[in-house]
Amino acid sequence: MRLDLTLNKLENADLLRPATDEEQTFMFAHALVQDTVYASMLKQDRRHLHRMVGEVLEQVYVDHIDEFAALLAHHFALAGDDKKTLQYAVRAGDAAMRVYAYHEARSLYEKALTTLDRLENSDEHCRLRADTLVKQVSISYPYQHSSTSFKCLMEAEAIVQDLYVSTQRDEDRLRLARIHYWLGRMHGYRNETHQAIDNLMLTLQEAGNSNDETLLAFPSAVIGRLMNIQGQFGAAEALLQQAVGPLEKGENWAEWVSTLGQLALAQAARGRASQAVENGTRVLQRAMAIKNVASIAEAQAMLAAIYFMIGDYDRMAKMARVCIQTAESSETRLYCFLGYAMLALAQSEQGEPDNALASIQRAAEIDQTMLEGRVYSDWYAAVHAQVILNIGESEEACELARQGVQLAQSIGGIFSVGLSERVWALGLAQRHADWEKIETHLEKSLNAFETGDARVESARTHAAWGKLLQARGQYRAAREHLELAIDRFQEAELTRELNAARQALSERVT
C-alpha cells in the first residue's frame, strides 16, 4: 500500500483535506470520518499504517527529528514497535525537558518506562531505565510526594550498583554519582540532613575524577542550601558562591536559579541588602527567561524571603501574592505553602490581622497535604508564632514559639531557633512574666543568630531587648543593645529600622 496514492484517493473523496499549517500534512474533513475510517480497519492494517507513517516521518523530518519525536513515539507504539517507541519516547522527553515542558516530559518518560517493561533486560536497557528514572525524578519532585521520588531513585541505584559491580565501567560510576546527588537532594527536602550529606559526599567520591564541573558543583550547591536553611549563612554563602560559576558555565539554569537564590538570601541575612535584592532579581529574570514555572515560583519565594530578611513588608506581600499565583497554577505545593506563610507575616506586620489569620490558615491547610517532614517546616513554625504575636495573642504565640524551638532543635535549625526564642521572649513580656525568663530567651535568640552570622536578625533582637530594658527604666543597658542594633542596621542600609532604633535611643539619654 503506497501512502501517497491512498492520501490522494481520500482527498478526492472529500474525506481528507490539506492542513492549514505550513507542514505537508492532512486532516480529516470531520472527526467522525476519522473515527469511522479507523474503526473499520483491521488491527494488523492499523499497525501497518502506523509503521508506514512513522517511517515516512523519519525520512521527511530527518533534519529536525526532535520536533516530531513525540509523534514518532506515538505511531511506533501503535505499530507495536517497542524498540522505536522507546527510542523516540526518551528522545522526545529529553527535548521537552530542555525547554522545561515538564508535564509533557513526565508523560513521555512514563511511556518509555512502560515500554522497557516489555523489552529484554539487557545491560543497555537497564542503563536506560536507570537514566530515565533519574530524569523522571528531576522534573517531577516539585509536584509529587517524595516517597514516589525515593522509590524511583532506589530502583535506579540498585540497577546501577549491580551493573558497576559486574562491569566496573566509569559511566556507571558517574550514574551512581548522579543518583546519589538526587538522593541527597530529596533527603534534604525532608529535613534529613545527615542522610542528605552522606549521599552528597558519595557523589563527590564517585565523580572525583570526572571532568564534569557541573556534576562536581551539585554537592556544594545542595550542602550550601541545606546550611542556609539551617541558618548557617556565613558557611552557606561560601559553598553557594563556589557552585554558581560552574552551574552558569554549564547553563544548568534551574540549578543556577536555586543556588543563586539561596546565595542572595544568605547575603540578605548577613546585612548586604542591595546585593541580595540585585541577585534575587537576576534569579527571577532568568527563571522567567527559561519559562520554567517551578523555577519562577521558587525565585518569587526567594525574593519574598529576601524582603522578609530586610524588613520590606510591602514588597514582601506583593511578591508573596505573585508566588502564590504562580505556584497554584503549576501545583507546586511547597512554594504555594511558603507564599501564604510569608504573606501572613507581611499582613500581620502591616496591621491586617484578619487577612494574616486567613493566610496562615491557608498555609496550614497546604502543610497538611504534604504529609511528611519537609524543608522550611521550622521556619514556618517560627513565622506562625510571629504572626500570632503580631495580632496580640501572646499566650498562644508563646506556646507556638515553644513548639517551634523544639522542632528546630530536632532538625538542627539555628535561624528558626533565633526567631522562635525572640517571639517567646516578646510574648512573655506582653504577659508581664518574670524578667529573668524573658532575658534568657533573648540571650538564646541572640546566640542562635550570632552563630549563623544572621546579622540583621541579631540587630532586631538587640533592638527588641533595648526597648524592653527602656520600658523597665534600665537605660544604660538599653543603650548598649540599641547602639549595637544601630550599627548593624546602618551597615545593612535598613533605613526604617535604623531610624526607629535611633528614635528609641533618643527617648532617654543617660
The answer to whether residue 181 is domain-embedded is no
Tracing cell 521572649 back to the chain, one arrives at 425
What integer pLDDT is reported at residue 15 of this predicted model?
44
Task: Tell me the DSSP string of 364-415.
Answer: HHHHHHH-S--TTHHHHHHHHHHHHHHTT-HHHHHHHHHHHHHHHHHHT-SH
| Those residues with Cβ within 8 angstroms of residue 82's Cβ, 6 or more apart along the chain or in another chain | 115, 118, 119
Residue 341 has pLDDT above 90, yes or no: yes
Cell of 26: 492532512
Most confident residue range from 14-18, 188-192, 388-392: 388-392
Residue 42 has pLDDT above 70, yes or no: no
**Residues 236-265: what's their mean pLDDT?**
95
Given a contact cutoff of 8 angstroms between Cβ atoms, the answer to whether 454 and 233 are in contact is yes
pLDDT band at 45 (very low <50, low <70, confident <90, very high): low
**Residues 168-195: what's their mean pLDDT?**
92
pLDDT band at 326 (very low <50, low <70, confident <90, very high): very high
The answer to whether residue 269 is domain-embedded is no
CA separation, residue 106 to residues 75, 134, 505 (Å): 19, 11, 59
The answer to whether residue 505 is domain-embedded is no
Percent of the chain past pLDDT 70, that is, above it, reads: 89
What integer pLDDT is reported at residue 278 of this predicted model?
98
What's the domain range around 15? 1-30
What integer pLDDT is reported at residue 65 of this predicted model?
80
Task: Look up the pTM and report it.
Answer: 0.82
SS3 17: strand
What integer pLDDT is reported at residue 367 of this predicted model?
85
Which is more confident, 372 or 299?
299
**Residues 410-419: what's their mean pLDDT?**
95
What integer pLDDT is reported at residue 33 of this predicted model?
45
The amino acid at residue 74 is: H
The answer to whether residue 323 is domain-embedded is no
Distance of CA 466 to the CA centre of its chain: 38
What integer pLDDT is reported at residue 372 of this predicted model?
57
Report pLDDT digits (tens) over 131-165: 999 999 998 887 778 889 999 999 999 999 999 99
Q: Taking all residues of the chain, what is their mean pLDDT, rounded to a whole number?
A: 89
What integer pLDDT is reported at residue 28 of this predicted model?
47
Residue 438 has pLDDT above 70, yes or no: yes
CA separation, residue 112 to residues 57, 78, 500 (Å): 20, 14, 61
What integer pLDDT is reported at residue 69 of this predicted model?
87
**Residues 268-288: what's their mean pLDDT?**
97
Residue 36 has pLDDT above 60, yes or no: no
What integer pLDDT is reported at residue 34 of this predicted model?
52
What integer pLDDT is reported at residue 242 of this predicted model?
92
Report pLDDT digits (tens) over 385-411: 999 999 999 999 999 999 999 999 999
End-to-end CA distance of the chain: 102
The amino acid at residue 207 is: A
What are the residues facing 27 on neighbouring strands?
A: 17
Which is more confident, 79 or 285?
285
**Residues 247-265: what's their mean pLDDT?**
95
The answer to whether residue 2 is domain-embedded is yes
CA separation, residue 15 to residues 1, 33, 37, 214, 492 (Å): 18, 7, 10, 54, 72
- Structural domain tally of the chain? 1
**Residues 232-243: what's their mean pLDDT?**
95
Helix axes 495-506, 455-471, angle to 10 degrees: 20
The answer to whether residue 103 is domain-embedded is no
Task: Tell me the DSSP string of 199-225.
Answer: HHHHHHHHTTT---HHHHHHHHHHHHH
Going by C-alpha positions, the residue among 225, 234, 260 that lies closest to residue 246 is: 260
**Residues 263-284: what's their mean pLDDT?**
98
Residue 40 has pLDDT above 70, yes or no: no
Within 10 A of 305 (CB to CB), how many other CB atoms are there? 26
Residue 3 has pLDDT above 60, yes or no: no
Percent of the chain past pLDDT 90, that is, above it, reads: 70
Going by C-alpha positions, the residue among 454, 188, 165, 496 that lies closest to residue 314 is: 496
The answer to whether residue 358 is domain-embedded is no
Report pLDDT digits (tens) over 59-91: 877 788 888 888 888 888 888 889 999 998 999
pLDDT band at 466 (very low <50, low <70, confident <90, very high): very high
Compute the distance between CA of residue 247 and CA of residue 336 in angstroms, rounded to an integer.
26
Residue 354 has pLDDT above 90, yes or no: yes
Which is more confident, 484 or 46?
484
What integer pLDDT is reported at residue 100 of this predicted model?
87
The answer to whether residue 183 is domain-embedded is no
Cell of 3: 501512502
